[in-house]
Amino acid sequence: MHHAEGLSRVVRDEALVEAIRTDYTTAPITPAERALLDYAVKLTREPWNMRREDVERLRSAGWSDAAILDLVIVAAYYAFVNRIAEGLGVELEPRWGQTRPSSPSS
């Protein structure tokens, strides 16, 4: 949820942030923003399926190579940090719509 808080500070539109957080595919965003988010989701969930066509789709949507590189770096960074936290058993905030499971020592 802290990512949504950061987005709120940038876009200053709580309804938009909530729409993106709930389901970005139905949020009122531009086709270029949708393409960027689609790419980020695919890269996060199934990186083994990334193809040159995925990058070309972003370029066709108007994203520069620098912006695409930024996206990949940020997605990779978050995947890296999340694996460290999960590997160490760090308790993070619950995922949107989920409650935190109780710990074995509770």
- Identify whether 36 is part of a domain: yes
Task: Record the pTM.
Answer: 0.73
Task: Summarize pLDDT for 82-106 with one digit per residue, the tens.
Answer: 889 889 988 766 655 555 555 455 4
- Identify whether 97 is part of a domain: no
- Identify whether 103 is part of a domain: no
CATH number at residue 73: 1.20.1290.10
- Identify whether 17 is part of a domain: yes
Total domain count for the chain? 1
Long-range CB pairs of 69-78 (<8 Å, 24+ gap) are 71/36, 71/39, 71/40, 71/43, 72/43, 75/40, 75/43, 75/44, 78/44
Higher pLDDT, 48 or 14: 48
